[in-house]
Chain A
Amino acid sequence: MTPTVSASGLSLRYGGTRALDDVSLRLSAGVTGLLGPNGAGKTTLLRVLATAVPADRGAFTVLGHDPGTSRGRQEVRRHLGYLPQTPGFHPDFTPFEFVDYVAILKELTDRAARHREVRRVLDEAGLDGVRGKRIRKLSGGMRQRVALAAALVGDPAFLVLDEPTVGLDPEQRMRFRELIARAGEGRTVLLSTHQTEDVAMLCHRVVVLAGGTVRFDGTPAELTARAAGRVWSSAERDPGAKAGWRTGLGTFRNVGDPPVGADLLEPTLEDGYLLTLDGLDGVDTEVAA
């Protein structure tokens, strides 16, 4: 299958910090999760792929268009939906007005066609009941939906979502996951997140980024399998474990290299993620008991 996004050797420095270092990726239809600790370079990678900032080195294409040129960048943007980490709104606008504003930026100038599209994406984001309410009166979850609706204008082939579930309560998070799953049908979605549950529930593929480089690229099952035979239960925290924490049952769940005869547990995606990050500079996998 021809990938929607093909990136090779992307590198970017901010002052003395290497935010991205030789990142290569190929993204196809479906939801790909981008996991990584704070400062891993996730947002930087998303901003590069969303054409907000250019990379110092390397190149990428979206549907064959090269954003390195002005014309190519415009073509990429015509196929792009972007939900930034902290989406800003004009608080006096209603969801309809705000999405209409974004639709104009996306070159939908015909009023009737634009309004039809605004209505479609507001419905898709589950905002049909509040489209006339001022954004400043909406909850955080509803505002995130408005931002998602704006990203969906024009039915983009490539959707970039930067930590869209941060700050949402569990119910809102679940509803937002449903929206992302729907948005991922037939589209290429790159979803940056801190939540391994997001990846487990939504993604057919996961990329782990740390220190600006790709540490893992595969399926969630493959990431989980990295922890096979390396998760065990004990009555006290095992000092030899890379990470360990008390569970609701009162026992400790340990991740690392188990002692002989340990009571092995079924690994989760989070266990595989922690072990992938283990030993990397600047990454703390210690979990308090």
Chain B
Amino acid sequence: MTYGTTGGTSGGGTGWHVSEEDLRAYARGGLPAPLLWSADAHLTACAHCRAVLADVSDPAALDAGWERLDAELDAPRPGFLESLLLRLGIADHTARLLAATPALRLSWLGAVAAVLLLTVAVTLGRGATGSPTLFLALAPLLPLAGVALSYGPVLDPTYEMAVVAPMHGFRLLMIRTVAVLGAGLGLNGLATLALPGYGLRALAWLLPALALTATGLALTARLGPVLAPSLVGGGWIALLLTADAARTGGEGPLAPFTAAGQGVSAAVAVLAAGLLVLLRDRFDLSGRRTA
């Protein structure tokens, strides 16, 4: 927004004002957000700008503007997460969808951060030798759990309403998955930075995390949002225990964290993502339950 040259603060019509050009755009309904929101807020307190707006508007457009302003005044202030997402440039409707995602709540993110801190502390306590196995084993499970908590009849209280809405269930799933995965991988990444002694070996959780999350989602289409991630998580732990039993010497990295294991993870992630896309229409209907 551009303002007049008088400087000072808004309010009361004695400070700076919305430029006439912006007011004309506002009157036409052509002022984009977030300038629109700023104009809305300023107009409530500035009689001068309201008078200018009346001069540059046709009466019908002015009525529509007031109606819009009235509706804006009813809209509550966005919460912390929503405000953060808006500042990051996320569209307001997407930010609202994400604000309703359980795994993006501060309580969940705080729990993930606490688990990671504990794991990093244990890993550091053992000294930077060999492979940070505990961290690498745990880190892929956290995004899997976060995504599993984001969608489904058991964990999303509004699932039944969401599934019959025109927005495709797969689209909602993907919006939430990308956000939860981003947050989860970000926290894991920060934890990795706390383990500089291991170098790139401490990043060996990334591809397994993508593989587990994609596999969990793809199986959700058939097995549901509780059984599928549980099976995938259980399978991951079983795989690590098997790899540990098969490891000779006891000090080298477990098979999934070797170069070959990373390649397998990447292949599984790609295949599962492809399967997920093929099964996308299954997310558009609710799971059956007796009623």
> Which residues of A are at the interface with B, using a C-beta cutoff of 8 A?
14-15, 17, 19, 43-44, 47, 50-54, 70, 73-74, 77-78, 80, 82, 84-85, 87-90, 92-94, 96-98, 100-102, 104-107, 109, 111-112, 114-116, 118-119, 131-132, 147, 150
B161 within 8 Å of A (CB atoms): yes
CA distance A147 to B160 in the complex (A): 12
Contact across chains for B164 and A52 when beta carbons are under 8 A apart: yes
Bound Cα distance from A70 to B165, whole angstroms:
13
B92 lies within 8 A of A105 (CB): no
- The residue in chain B whose Cβ has the minimal distance to the Cβ of A84 is B160
9 example contacts (A-B, Cβ-Cβ < 8 A) are as follows A14-B288, A19-B290, A54-B285, A82-B160, A84-B160, A100-B96, A115-B75, A132-B76, A147-B161
B111 at the interface (CB under 8 A from A): no
Q: What residue in chain B is nearest A134 (Cβ atoms)? A: B76
Chain B interface (Cβ < 8 Å from any Cβ of A) = 33, 36, 67-68, 70-72, 74-76, 79, 91-93, 96-97, 99-100, 156-168, 172, 281, 284-286, 288-291
A256 to B33, CA, bound (A): 68
- In Å, the complex CA distance between A80 and B167 comes to 13
B74 near A119: Cβ-Cβ < 8 Å: yes
CB distance B166 to A14 under 8 Å?
no
Q: Which 10 A-B pairs have the closest CB atoms?
A: A88-B157, A105-B165, A43-B291, A115-B71, A52-B286, A84-B160, A112-B68, A77-B166, A104-B93, A14-B290
Q: CB < 8 Å: which of B76, B100, B160 contacts A52?
A: B160
Q: Is the CB of A53 within 8 A of B158?
A: no
B36 surroundings in chain A (CB, below 8 A): 112
Question: What distance in Å separates the Cβ of A157 from its nearest Cβ neighbour in chain B?
Answer: 14
A96 to B75, CA, bound (A): 7
Q: A53-B288, A119-B74 are in contact. Are A89 and B158 (CB under 8 A)?
A: yes
Cβ A115 vs Cβ B72 within 8 A: yes
The smallest C-beta distance from B61 to any residue of chain A, in angstroms, reads 13
Are A101 and B158 closer than 8 Å at their CB atoms? yes
By the criterion CB–CB under 8 Å, are B285 and A53 in contact?
yes
Query: Are A94 and B96 interface neighbours, CB within 8 A?
Result: no
Partner of B291, one of A44, A105, A116: A44
Once the chains bind, are A102 and B76 in contact (CB under 8 Å)? no
Beyond A52-B160, A82-B161, A119-B71, whether A47 also contacts B167 by CB under 8 A is no
Asked whether, in the complex, the Cβ of B161 is within 8 Å of the Cβ of A47, the reply is no
Task: Report whether B97 and A104 are in contact in the complex, using a CB–CB cutoff of 8 Å.
Answer: yes
A52, B163: Cβ atoms under 8 Å? yes
On whether the beta carbons of B71 and A112 are closer than 8 Å, the reply is yes
Q: Is the CB of A131 within 8 A of B74?
A: yes
- How close is B10's CB to chain A, nearest CB, in angstroms? 21
A87 touches B161 (CB 8 A): yes
Q: How far is the CB of B166 from chain A (nearest CB, A)?
A: 4
CB distance from B73 to the nearest CB of A (A): 10
Query: Which of B70, B79, B161 makes the CB contact (< 8 A) with A105?
Result: B161
Question: B286, A53: Cβ atoms under 8 Å?
Answer: yes
Say whether B76 contacts A97, CB under 8 Å. yes
A111 touches B76 (CB 8 A): no
Distance to closest chain A CB from B58 (angstroms): 18
Closest chain B residue, CB of each to CB of A108: B93
Closest B residue by C-beta to A128:
B74
The answer to whether A74 touches B75, judged by C-beta atoms less than 8 angstroms apart, is no
